[in-house]
Structure 1
Amino acid sequence: MNGPAEPIIRRKLSDEVFERLERMITSGEMRPGDEMPSERTLMERFGVGRPAIREAMQALAGKGLVAISHGERARVLAVTAQSILRQVDLTAKIMLSQSQDGLENLKSARIFFERGMAREAALKATGEDLDALAAIIAHQRAMTGQPEAFIEADMAFHARIASISGNPIFAAISEAMLAWLRTYHTHLLIWAGNEAVTLDEHAGILARLADGDADGAEAAMRDHLERARALYTHERG
């Protein structure tokens, strides 16, 4: 039988162990919170040495599937939207640092996403949600002149709006994008008066949410983020 060559590639033992351990988790044999079997048990079960087990465990930890603590057995983690997105944190930050296009694309994606989150929030926000946002703005105002704390409050405001959707994936995406952009956010605060403008715009967004005005909330969020984007471009130019 003729045909293209199909070489068989020998795989590392740790890769095989990783796949078997991964199946134990995805099949439900191991549940979130469960302790993984001991190294010795796994060595006997799979017929491999300790290095292969440890390397496979480290790979599982790198994927966010288990937590490894010194002196304790690895424990299975619950896979959430947040834990999934954390796995690409480093890759995303490297991309942003190496490519201005990547940063611009992320800022565009954030504006598109947060416009939708503002609409959702206007339709779903409860009195408790509105009070929480007002408290964040008050705290942010108190942090004027302290860039790191001010940015923390800024991120909390936007993340809280996303959480009003009730969709944990939306909340996780919001937190991830804010974390990826955080390195660049502090540049916005260099401009005199920018903190006051940000606070006024946050208050405007909150007012539209309180009115249940989806169109107005979306427009206010769009204008807020577009203003910040233009300011960033000017400052860096």
Structure 2
Amino acid sequence: MAGLQLIVNFFQELRIFRLSLRSPKARHCVWRPNVGSNVKSDIMEENLVEKQSRSEELWNSDLIECIQTRLDLEFDDVKVFKGKVLKDIFMHTSKSGGHLLQFGFVDQDIVIYRETIDISDLQKSKTVLLHKNNLKNSSDLIIPKVICELKYNDITSHGLIIYSAYASDIKSIFPDCKYFLAMRYKNSSTANKLGRHGKNFDKIIAFEDKKGQGKYKKGSFQEELKSDLKLKKRFEEFISEIKKELEPKETEFLK
């Protein structure tokens, strides 16, 4: 993106210089192209996005460890991982004009599950297309109980709309699955924005209301949980909501 903007700015400066040469006063002009401010701004923005992406990736890994450690105390059959779940099933038309039933999978930041289904028979079918299931265990289809979408430093309205749609698609296939949004820092994500654009999230939580402070370092979340009582309280509430979905429900309600 920065490279493309550099080229655009270069030719804009060149065009202005050529037009200026038509003036008699411009006989001794020397062209010094200014390719600076916009490009620098784009590069800084790209670096910021890359830094946040890396911080989110590291925090994602730490949060999985924290959740798994807590759930292991009460549930010995529950697994937590980052990977793919089934998002949609639709009819795919091949180049030859034939039709295939396609299973579409999507990456999710945190998936909490107990059960899987063996889909090895489907893999052998000539009328079924399994699109990018988990590579390690591609014959196992995960039945998610709780999915968490993570954002390190707030979330845009566009992001909310996209992941809310993901939540709707996934829950239409797995009606017992709950879909959470967890933010490390809420920053500028107001309750109004989260409510309007995040309609399909079952729970939304921000562990801290402020803006993110620099790059995230591996293990920082675990260390902060030991010293920050407010952060620990929110994390405990987060774990409590997950546990509610894993515990047996004594009710006559079907839904």
TM over 0.5: no
TM superposition score category, shorter chain reference? under 0.3
> Please, what TM-score do these two structures have when normalized by structure 1?
0.25
TM-score (normalised: structure 2): 0.24
Structure holding more strand per residue:
2
| Larger relative contact order (CA 8 Å, sep ≥ 6) | 1
Structure 1 or 2: larger helix share? Answer: 1
